[in-house]
């Protein structure tokens, strides 16, 4: 077992170091494979040449999503895009499905982001000529089949109900009701019980005509494309799409309402079966902030610290993590997943955060060992554990290597690369921005990690929610959660 653990550590380190040292050449090579065009109606097109496989990935990205959601119509863009994948005026649903099945291809919708959505085609190169006009017909000339609309709406309702029945998903949704109150992100992209009962097929058709306009769109293609030929095809199809006379104004995502002081909400849920779920949300630096790379790396390091202290030393929960997101207006979270002692875990979170704020971290990934790196038997003397942690400066290169390895793992397919490019366009306007992130991680110092831990994880007021059965909620001393994270010196 120890040999396997050591070998895994070595693989991560070697792989990460290899990419760290080859990053400049890797970036330049990938930049040279990217071509940029503009369709005649102003839609940007980005084509990334990839000779390594025969899969073609083509997507139409649509920026904004919830920013354009009419009042009371949460989830409408997701419904609209899903319905586009259910057939066109030339190809009804069954015909479309038969073609896609025979070609081992897919036309699908992505809508699980506050800031953008996408409509995608994935197929082998030999089928692209046949499937491209079908894909375009679905997007430009939807069938608007009433029966398929009913199926899509029913599927959204089932998905929502599953989320509400799952304790952790319910916690997230209920916390966001408070955290996003008064903000456009409150219009949940998956819809609400009320909004899904209030969306008709006519609403969807009207939304499509009014809001799916060229000024919101990008096109991204990854594969062994003839870029010039693809540009011509898109110009003759999607390039003909014109904006309506009453075009909606470009919208900026407003900042969240500042959390002036810590808040705690208790959410009773009998079906939690004797377990509690704890989460804190708080504002975080956005993807363009100089603090963002340090925040991302610090979150990865804090994950291990939380595991070591909350689970290994105190045996207080099944799962725990810290995570920063990457939205236009960004936030981060700290989560304790499945605990029987919600009255105690806040002090363990404080212990983890404050240990890192003092400049110390776990020496390596702790989840590979039941014994952890700090050791069992320190529950009665947490301060003793601090001596078993190493200076952040001693471990940071390992964490960088681990982070970079995982980051490159998100670029294994043409579809995932296309998604990375679209995200770069949405958030920075530069299709190659995702390539630079590794350099940004490499430039993070131990001092940067300590600074963002103190500023955001320790210093930023948080909105907490605990979801559990009444008997566990009654054990909570609210003041434990409403006090600051604690001393950080």
The reply to whether 234 and 353 lie within a common domain is no
Report the domain count for the chain.
Answer: 2
The reply to whether 225 and 338 lie within a common domain is no
pLDDT of the residue at 120 = 98
Cα–Cα–Cα angle for 71, 323, 379, nearest 5°? Answer: 135
Q: Judge contact between 47 and 160, C-beta under 8 A.
A: no
Tokens 């070697």, residue? Answer: 14
Q: Which of 240, 273, 291 is the last residue of a domain?
A: 240
Q: Judge contact between 281 and 463, C-beta under 8 A.
A: yes
Q: Is 377 left (phi over 0), alpha (psi -120 to 50) or beta?
A: left
Bridge partner list, 106? 122
The answer to whether residue 5 sits within a structural domain is: no
Domain range for residue 212?
A: 39-240
The answer to whether residue 216 sits within a structural domain is: yes
The answer to whether residue 142 sits within a structural domain is: yes
Q: Judge contact between 426 and 116, C-beta under 8 A.
A: yes
Cβ neighbours of residue 381 closer than 8 Å, sequence gap 6 or more: none
Helix, strand, coil abundance in the chain, percent, nearest 5: 50, 15, 35
What distance in Å separates the CA atoms of residue 392 and residue 243, rounded to the nearest whole number? 53
The reply to whether 235 and 271 lie within a common domain is no
Cβ neighbours of residue 393 closer than 8 Å, sequence gap 6 or more: 359, 446
The reply to whether 338 and 213 lie within a common domain is no
The reply to whether 91 and 139 lie within a common domain is yes
Name the nearest CA neighbour of 298 among 434, 392, 410: 392
Q: Judge contact between 418 and 219, C-beta under 8 A.
A: no
**Sign of the four-CA dihedral 63, 64, 68, 73:** positive
- Which parts of 33-75 fold into alpha helices (H)? none
How far, in Å, are 61, 149, 210, 339 from residue 205 at the CA level? 19, 11, 9, 46
- Which parts of 336-486 fold into alpha helices (H)? 345-357, 382-386, 392-409, 414-428, 433-442, 446-452, 470-473, 478-482
pLDDT of the residue at 83 = 98
Q: Judge contact between 277 and 309, C-beta under 8 A.
A: no
What distance in Å separates the CA atoms of residue 253 and residue 392, rounded to the nearest whole number? 35
What is the end-to-end Cα distance of the chain in Å, rounded?
38
Between strands 390-391 and 360-361, the pairing is antiparallel
Q: Judge contact between 286 and 489, C-beta under 8 A.
A: no
Eight-class DSSP state of 474: T
Cβ neighbours of residue 414 closer than 8 Å, sequence gap 6 or more: 50, 53, 55, 56, 57, 122, 222, 223
What distance in Å separates the CA atoms of residue 163 and residue 467, rounded to the nearest whole number? 14
The reply to whether 180 and 276 lie within a common domain is no
The reply to whether 57 and 113 lie within a common domain is yes
Cβ neighbours of residue 103 closer than 8 Å, sequence gap 6 or more: 123, 124, 127, 130, 131
Tokens 């105190």, residue? Answer: 314
The answer to whether residue 25 sits within a structural domain is: no
The reply to whether 277 and 140 lie within a common domain is no
Q: Which DSSP helix (H) or strand (E) runs through 166?
A: none
Q: At what angle do helices 433-442 and 2-32 cross, to 10 degrees?
A: 130
- Tokens encoding 354: 């404050």
The reply to whether 322 and 462 lie within a common domain is yes
Q: Which of 181, 208, 240 is the last residue of a domain?
A: 240
- Tokens encoding 106: 């897919």
Between strands 34-38 and 44-49, the pairing is antiparallel
**What CATH code is carried by the domain that includes residue 57?**
3.30.830.10
Tokens 């066109």, residue? Answer: 88
The answer to whether residue 2 sits within a structural domain is: no
What distance in Å separates the CA atoms of residue 179 and residue 200, rounded to the nearest whole number? 29
The answer to whether residue 257 sits within a structural domain is: no
pLDDT of the residue at 9 = 40
Cα–Cα–Cα angle for 143, 147, 153, nearest 5°? Answer: 100
pLDDT of the residue at 346 = 96
The reply to whether 236 and 267 lie within a common domain is no
* Per-10-residue mean pLDDT, the chain, length 489: 39 44 65 92 95 93 94 96 97 97 97 96 97 98 97 97 97 96 94 96 96 95 96 97 70 86 96 95 93 96 95 94 94 97 96 95 58 41 57 94 86 91 94 91 97 95 96 95 62
What distance in Å separates the CA atoms of residue 331 and residue 325, rounded to the nearest whole number? 6
Cβ neighbours of residue 472 closer than 8 Å, sequence gap 6 or more: 272, 274, 275, 276, 340, 342
- Which parts of 109-191 fold into alpha helices (H)? 125-140, 146-165, 167-179
The reply to whether 273 and 327 lie within a common domain is yes
The reply to whether 268 and 236 lie within a common domain is no
Give every strand in the sheet of 217-223, ordered side by side: 34-38, 44-49, 217-223, 55-63, 116-124, 106-110
Q: Which of 240, 272, 298 is the last residue of a domain?
A: 240
What distance in Å separates the CA atoms of residue 137 and residue 238, rounded to the nearest whole number? 10
């Amino acid at each position: 077992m120890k040999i396997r653990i050591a070998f895994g550590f070595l693989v991560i380190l070697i792989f990460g170091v290899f990419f760290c040292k080859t990053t400049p050449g890797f970036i330049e090579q990938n930049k040279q494979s990217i071509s940029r065009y503009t369709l005649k109606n102003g839609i940007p097109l980005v084509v990334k040449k990839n000779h390594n496989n025969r899969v073609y990935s083509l997507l139409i990205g649509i920026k904004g999503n919830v920013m354009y959601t009419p009042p009371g119509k949460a989830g409408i863009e997701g419904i609209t895009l899903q319905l586009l994948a259910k057939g066109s005026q030339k190809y009804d649903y069954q015909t479309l499905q038969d073609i896609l099945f025979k070609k081992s291809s897919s036309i699908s919708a992505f809508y699980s982001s506050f800031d953008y959505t996408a409509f995608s085609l994935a197929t082998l190169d030999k089928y692209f000529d046949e499937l491209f006009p079908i894909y375009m017909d679905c997007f430009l000339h939807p069938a608007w089949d009433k029966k398929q609309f009913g199926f899509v709406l029913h599927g959204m309702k089932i998905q929502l109900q599953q989320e509400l029945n799952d304790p952790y998903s319910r916690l997230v949704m209920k916390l966001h009701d408070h955290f996003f109150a008064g903000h456009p992100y409150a219009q949940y992209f998956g819809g609400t019980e009320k909004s899904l009962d209030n969306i008709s097929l006519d609403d969807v058709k009207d939304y499509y005509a009014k809001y799916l306009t060229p000024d919101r769109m990008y096109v991204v293609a990854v594969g062994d494309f003839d870029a010039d030929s693809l540009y011509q095809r898109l110009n003759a199809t999607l390039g003909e799409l014109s904006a309506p006379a009453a075009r909606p104004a470009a919208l900026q995502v407003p900042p969240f309402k500042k959390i002036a002081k810590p808040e705690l909400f208790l959410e009773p849920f009998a079906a939690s079966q004797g377990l509690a779920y704890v989460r804190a949300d708080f504002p975080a630096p956005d993807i363009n902030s100089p603090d963002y790379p340090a925040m991302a790396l610090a979150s990865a390091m804090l994950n291990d610290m939380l595991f070591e202290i909350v689970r290994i030393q105190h045996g207080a929960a099944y799962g725990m993590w810290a995570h920063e997101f990457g939205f236009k207006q960004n936030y981060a979270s700290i989560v304790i997943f499945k605990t029987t002692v919600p009255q105690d875990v806040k002090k363990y979170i404080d212990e983890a955060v404050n240990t890192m704020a003092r400049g110390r971290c776990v020496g390596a990934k702790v989840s590979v060992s039941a014994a952890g790196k700090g050791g069992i038997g320190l529950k009665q003397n947490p301060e003793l554990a601090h001596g078993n942690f190493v200076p952040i400066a001693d471990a940071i290169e390992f964490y960088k290597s681990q982070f970079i390895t995982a980051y490159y793992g998100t670029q294994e397919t043409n579809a995932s690369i296309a998604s990375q490019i679209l995200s770069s366009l949405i958030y920075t306007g530069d299709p190659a921005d995702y390539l630079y992130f590794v350099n940004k991680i490499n430039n993070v110092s131990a001092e940067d990690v300590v600074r963002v831990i103190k500023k955001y994880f320790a210093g930023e007021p948080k909105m907490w929610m605990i979801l559990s059965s009444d008997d566990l909620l009654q054990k909570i001393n609210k003041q434990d959660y409403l006090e600051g994270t604690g001393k950080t010196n």
